[in-house]
Structure 1
Amino acid sequence: MISRTTIDQIFEAARVEEVIGDFVQLKKSGSNFKGLSPFSDERTPSFMVSPVKGIWKDFSTGKGGNSVSFLMEHEHYSYPEALRYLAKKYNIEIDEIEQTDEQKQQANERESMFLVSEFASNYFHKNLLENEQGKAIGLSYFKERGFTDETIKKFQLGYSLNEWEAFTNEALNKGYNLKYLEATGLSIVKQDLLAASGTKQFDRFKGRVMFPIHSMGGRVLGFGGRILTNDKKAAKYLNSPDSDIYHKSNVLYGIHYAKQTIAKEDNCFLVEGYTDVISMSQKGILNVVSSSGTALTENQIRLINRLTKNITILFDGDAAGMRASIRGIDLVLEQGMNVKVLTFPDGDDPDSFAKKVSTEELKNYLANNSQDFINFKVSLLMEEAKNDPVKKAGLIRDIVISISKIPDRIQQEVYVQECSRIMDISESVLFNELAQINNKQQRDAAKVSRSSTTSSASANMAPDPNEPPLDVLYPEMVQLQNTPKFEKVNELAKYEQEIIRILLLHGNKEAEFEDFIVGEVVDSNEVQPLKKEYFSNLVSKEIYLNLQEDEVEFTDDVFQQIYYEIISQLNQEKNISVNALVNSKNPKISSFVTGILMDDEKHVLSNWGRKEIIIKPKDKDLPKMVLDAIYNLRRVLIEQKINSLISDTENPDREHMLETIMNYTELKKLLCVRLNRIV
């Protein structure tokens, strides 16, 4: 069995448009890609790929899913075979072991660490807004930095009280295990023979303003904390230590908030610090992420590469800092990405510059002052070389080495010509130098490849004979082929599906709902007048409470499984993770969820906007949509109950049965009033 760690690495590395692009010709369409369906014979594209969501949808056949499900559908791979294919494509070593009880426990421990981190984020944020010390010190600091209430809430900024055990004691009192507080680095535990327990624990981030660091999916992985005193013995910024859920070199601050805009704008601005991201975002530049003060790594670049091929690195006016960070440019080029560089005037960084200028001025500056890496390197290092031929030759060689990192040979040639023009040196000399560097890189790569081939020659790549065929994995497709084109609509399934759709798309949103209360005056010939009251609630909670009240069980097995998974997530995380459902091993669940997530993309395929056909947003009035789905589900269930009672000719207690039917009918009338339906 392939280990969970390996599977996570595969899903993290796999870019759905790259995987599918090996089999289908895709063209850019906004933030998505489109192409002709590989599963049907068509002339107009109905196949959509969403890099941001990591999923695909074929509207001609109804199929959809992630990278793995595409390989299972298109190449008829088994689930393990698809994982092996992706592991080979992205050079991931497969760790294949039998999962032990200890490994199962480890998976549970990771989840416990996530829960502790989420609690800490809420605790620090509450301190900032409600605690007197938090407001006086932490909130004042953020306000002085110019951050609005909306920005502070968006980034969940917080404050850790300037007390040794404030957070740790609060977490322990809430029932969280000290083991996970220590594992996440939130608490530090040390041996203390004088203590009754033999250990003493204290808060790592004591007296610091807090910046939660999220995964691309939005889960809290760790924290950055900034001290506000002038204590020379303490680090200005302190990050969570690496743990099972947090690896600094694999994370970009702000990626969760920026991913949609990065894909839409097809460009990512890369900055150095937390406040750079926050200030730029507050000024309307949303496609900004930070390496959190660490040197840029390959894994961080791959995160961006999933969303766009274009990176613009923003440097401040400090030349020394720019030289130290220049290695990151070569790493970006190695990943086949396009890199531009933008510097700010002396003394300014992205944070301070964003505060000085208006949004329009900031956007104009970003658009008009970026330069390619050759011009940047020349402008940065030419001052040092001046009239020294040896230093100038070294600079030229350094630029050619950067050019050699670019995988595309055509781009290499274009940059060689640009370098020749700027540095006033013949192209032939530069091409000769580039050829030598490329040859050396190819020899080194060949050595690595031979070594890798030898070590993996014994790997078992044979298909799993116990893996069921696709007609077993996808029985609904066989059923679909044998189903008549025209049949009565299953109203119950229709509204069950609508409820699942709402949960997937809007479950984590809060909305204002209306409740109906029966009035005092009753006309015996009409339904009782209704009064309305309003209250706020999470969409997922409102649906759950209503279905629980009616003890509703979904009749469709797939819908029921999805609903159970969503409720399980809400009980553990208080948020719905759609990615977990997209990556489900059950292809029915993965395909259905993908279809919901990609439903709106079919309008893009039809180009309705160009045809001046306005598509009315289905989800404009969210509270009404939620309540309509719940009321309609109740109405259909009541109708089924009434019909069942009427058809029960063997019931001896006819009088009681008629009374029950009348009660259900009155209830149905009440629901119809709420739905504005005519009975």
Structure 2
Amino acid sequence: MIAKTTIDQVFETARVEEVIGDFVQLKKSGSNYKGLSPFSDERTPSFMVSPVKQIWKDFSSGKGGNVVAFLMEHEHFTYPEAIKYLAKKYNIEIEETEQTNEDKEKANERESLYLVNEFANTYFQKTLHKTDPGKAIGLSYFKERGFTEETIKKFNLGYSLDEWEAFTNEAIKKGYKLEYLERTGLTIVKEEKRFDRFKGRVMFPIQSMSGRVLGFGGRILTNDKKAAKYLNSPESDIYHKSKVLYGIYHAKQSIAKEDNCYLVEGYTDVIQLHQSGIKNVVSSSGTALTPEQIRLINRLTKNITVLFDGDAAGLRASLRGIDLILEQGMNVKVCTFPEGDDPDSFAKNNTLEEITLYLSEHAQDFIQFKASLLFEVSKNDPIKKAETVRDIVNSISKIPDRIKKEIYIQECARIMDISEEVLFSTLAQINKKQFQDTNKQYQQEQKAFEVIKHKQPVKKVDIQYELERKIIQILLLYGNEKEEFEDLILKENDHNELVLEPVKHEAKVFEKIYLDLQDDEMQFSNENFRELYYTIIDTLNQNPDFAIESFVNTVTPEMANEITTILMEDERYVLSNWERKNIFPKEKQHTVSQLVSETILSLRCYLIEQKVTEFKQETLDTKNQVNKNILEEVKDYSSLKMLLSRKLNRVL
């Protein structure tokens, strides 16, 4: 158990914009921040973070909450894990009791896989630094690569003994189940036999954005031609190769700060560049680049620089990945190293200044790079040149931005010495074919899944729900503020007519709302709002220093999500940037008293209307027998509604 004082300290210290900023590139938007949703694939920001309220809202998925809720949603942390992560980030001391075998039994399956990987990570590091084979073989290899002691520890590099069951036996001895060792791929089980997958390899732990160990990469150090040089963990419930980038945990802040990401091929490329001072670098870990990996980078920056070695054959094979980057609407540059060099060796043999200068001078726009590379191969062959032009235009067709497309066509025409008209014509043909293919696929899917479409009834607006929701919003935003209110007292004038006389007084917003609802004996019809209403009123009564950012941390996750949705609803319109269209929404805080009065009056009008409807129905139920009392009630309620509507400046 984590002490409440520690949890309180974590909430007081952690800043939602700083924590989320480690995972999503946030841009200032008024008093808030906005960014691309980390929970869905989108190109227009629908994710908002409020530093003032210390909450976030993702309008594309409907998720929202405080800083802990984000970590639980994004990283699949349990509540204690999220607290521990924040404590570590902000250097807050936290008491942790070591897990007993019984605790490990209770851990859910997914969590058990993480626990096994964490144990393996610690075990491989200990083997590297504390055993004779680890020092003589593993540590020597890393030192030969030029890695410092600090770098080796930072990237948690390790070594797996060249023994069949060394790791597996130790893990089982410590209470970890063979089932989870097999499911993470650390142990291979065949019939009655079991053995270590990474036997005799140096180990590279693969971490998530938050630093959790998802899997491992292992490099063999012997000259065994039958064994793969590099071996990765197999796919599991927590490790999906296509969704992970090696080094993202160490690179994320630098990527966002530099607004650029260097993409390389191998583990050692990442480590060597990082050690040299180029920290905004990640690797696809030897797998073909995937859209999921690109979207991971897209959350942090729009700019990718792909670093290749001088191998021409490898270059042409890697060009396919660039088209995927373009499809995601990102800006791509390409940099190649001199023949015989790769990012690892170049970083090892040059200073930070030399590396930085080389990257800035040799990074080419992808279209220039692709055109010049393919042009060299095809310049003396007209047919090959035509194929090259089509290949380049095909890449340009992937770009969503029309302005960028046109600029690249012009650039390609200049490099390839061909008219822009021909290239635009080719682009139009490619776009037409892509459209036809997409349309054809859509029609096939429609035929395959053809269903009878029922006309959906138009959903009616629930007026009472919206007004109750507005009351909760007012209480959360302005509940503790003192305002001058104008109450309307119902009186008879000299002509025996009912009139509303205004009386001004000062009160706190929550007191005004509470008393008005009490006077009218109004109850919330929505159960969630009813619970929230009494919780907020009770909190405001007991705590004069009420603050949303602390209140949201004291309620259940379900209620916290409801609060976030209510509070951030208006921020949805900020994403539309109305000011650019010369539309300036009125700020609520300038007319809080008016907002309170209008909301309460609107609710009264609605309830009166409901009452009148009930009376009408009662009259119909008495089979057209006119009830004088009911008619009097209807008349009185209608007069009251007329007065209230006049106050609201509504025409009836």
- TM-score bracket, normalised by the shorter chain, equals 0.5 to 0.7
Instruction: Tell me how far 1:64 sits from its aligned partner.
Output: 2.9
Aligned to 1:351, what secondary structure does the other structure show? helix
Report what 1:49 is aligned to. 34
The answer to whether 1:419 aligns with 2:400 is no
Q: 2:58 aligns with which of 67, 73, 84?
A: 67
Question: How big is each residue's C-alpha offset from its partner over 1:628-674, in whole Å with a ceiling of 9 and x where there is no partner?
Answer: xxxxxxxxxxxxxxxxxxxxxxxxxxxxxxxxxxxxxxxxxxxxxxx
The answer to whether 1:161 aligns with 2:161 is yes
Where does the alignment leave 5 or more consecutive residues of structure 2 unmatched?
A: 1-15, 18-23, 40-46, 65-73, 75-104, 483-506, 509-538, 569-652
Q: Which amino acid aligns with 1:482?
A: G
Report what 2:189 is aligned to. 189
Instruction: Tell me how far 1:205 sits from its aligned partner.
Output: 0.1
Aligned mates of 2:408, 2:186 — CA distance in 1: 48
Going from structure 1 to structure 2, the CA distance change for 1:202 and 1:286 (only over 3 Å counts) comes to same
Going from structure 1 to structure 2, the CA distance change for 1:246 and 1:59 (only over 3 Å counts) comes to closer
Q: Which amino acid aligns with 1:144?
A: E
Q: Which amino acid aligns with 1:433?
A: T
Matched-pair contact (CA < 8 Å) for 1:64–1:591: yes
Matched-pair contact (CA < 8 Å) for 2:334–2:366: yes
Report what 2:315 is aligned to. 322
The answer to whether 1:204 aligns with 2:178 is no
The answer to whether 1:128 aligns with 2:104 is no
Matched-pair contact (CA < 8 Å) for 2:273–2:281: yes
Report what 2:250 is aligned to. 257
Aligned mates of 1:173, 1:453 — CA distance in 2: 56
Aligned to 2:338, what secondary structure does the other structure show? coil
Aligned to 2:405, what secondary structure does the other structure show? helix
Instruction: Tell me how far 1:585 sits from its aligned partner.
Output: 4.4
Aligned mates of 1:49, 1:474 — CA distance in 2: 26
Matched-pair contact (CA < 8 Å) for 1:317–1:344: yes
Going from structure 1 to structure 2, the CA distance change for 1:478 and 1:207 (only over 3 Å counts) comes to same
Aligned mates of 1:330, 1:351 — CA distance in 2: 25
Aligned to 1:317, what secondary structure does the other structure show? coil
Aligned to 1:326, what secondary structure does the other structure show? helix
The answer to whether 1:276 aligns with 2:261 is no
Instruction: Tell me how far 1:591 sits from its aligned partner.
Output: 5.1
Aligned residues: 441
Matched-pair contact (CA < 8 Å) for 2:121–2:205: yes
Aligned mates of 2:196, 2:453 — CA distance in 1: 47
Q: Which amino acid aligns with 1:263?
A: A
Instruction: Tell me how far 1:57 sits from its aligned partner.
Output: 2.9
Going from structure 1 to structure 2, the CA distance change for 1:496 and 1:200 (only over 3 Å counts) comes to farther
Question: How big is each residue's C-alpha offset from its partner over 1:404-447, in whole Å with a ceiling of 9 and x where there is no partner?
Answer: 11111111111111111011111111111110000111122223
Question: How big is each residue's C-alpha offset from its partner over 1:530-581, in whole Å with a ceiling of 9 and x where there is no partner?
Answer: xxxxxxxxxxxxxxxxxxxxxxxxxx8854679xxxxxxxxxxxxxxxxxxx
Instruction: Tell me how far 1:176 sits from its aligned partner.
Output: 0.6
- Counterpart mapping for 1:304-315 below 5 A: 304-315=297-308
Aligned to 2:150, what secondary structure does the other structure show? helix
Aligned to 1:401, what secondary structure does the other structure show? helix
- Counterpart mapping for 1:101-112 below 5 A: 108-112=108-112
Aligned mates of 2:321, 2:476 — CA distance in 1: 53
Question: How big is each residue's C-alpha offset from its partner over 1:373-420, in whole Å with a ceiling of 9 and x where there is no partner?
Answer: 222123322232131111111111111111111111111111111111
Report what 1:483 is aligned to. 480
Q: Which amino acid aligns with 1:173?
A: K
Report what 1:587 is aligned to. 560
Matched-pair contact (CA < 8 Å) for 1:31–1:266: no
- Counterpart mapping for 1:386-401 below 5 A: 386-401=379-394
Question: How big is each residue's C-alpha offset from its partner over 1:460-502, in whole Å with a ceiling of 9 and x where there is no partner?
Answer: 9999999x96867995852553324499x99x9899999xx9x
Aligned mates of 1:459, 1:188 — CA distance in 2: 51
Aligned to 1:66, what secondary structure does the other structure show? strand
Aligned mates of 1:397, 1:209 — CA distance in 2: 45
- Counterpart mapping for 1:353-432 below 5 A: 353-432=346-425
Instruction: Tell me how far 1:304 sits from its aligned partner.
Output: 1.1
Q: Which amino acid aligns with 1:182?
A: E
- Counterpart mapping for 1:549-568 below 5 A: 559=553
Aligned mates of 1:117, 1:242 — CA distance in 2: 13
Aligned mates of 1:440, 1:65 — CA distance in 2: 42
Normalised by the length of structure 2, the TM-score is 0.61
Aligned to 1:336, what secondary structure does the other structure show? coil
Aligned mates of 2:331, 2:181 — CA distance in 1: 41
Aligned mates of 1:408, 1:58 — CA distance in 2: 30
Matched-pair contact (CA < 8 Å) for 1:497–1:559: no
Going from structure 1 to structure 2, the CA distance change for 1:458 and 1:173 (only over 3 Å counts) comes to farther
Matched-pair contact (CA < 8 Å) for 1:64–1:590: no
Matched-pair contact (CA < 8 Å) for 1:215–1:221: yes
Matched-pair contact (CA < 8 Å) for 1:52–1:260: no
Report what 2:174 is aligned to. 174
Where does the alignment leave 5 or more consecutive residues of structure 1 unmatched?
A: 1-15, 18-29, 36-44, 74-82, 84-104, 192-198, 502-555, 563-583, 596-679
Aligned mates of 2:352, 2:204 — CA distance in 1: 24
Going from structure 1 to structure 2, the CA distance change for 1:267 and 1:458 (only over 3 Å counts) comes to farther
Aligned to 2:219, what secondary structure does the other structure show? strand
Q: Which amino acid aligns with 2:177?
A: N
Normalised by the length of structure 1, the TM-score is 0.59
Question: How big is each residue's C-alpha offset from its partner over 1:351-372, in whole Å with a ceiling of 9 and x where there is no partner?
Answer: 0000111001111111111111
Going from structure 1 to structure 2, the CA distance change for 1:69 and 1:149 (only over 3 Å counts) comes to same
State, as a whole percentage, how many aligned pairs show the same letter.
60
Aligned mates of 2:545, 2:204 — CA distance in 1: 41
Aligned mates of 1:279, 1:494 — CA distance in 2: 55
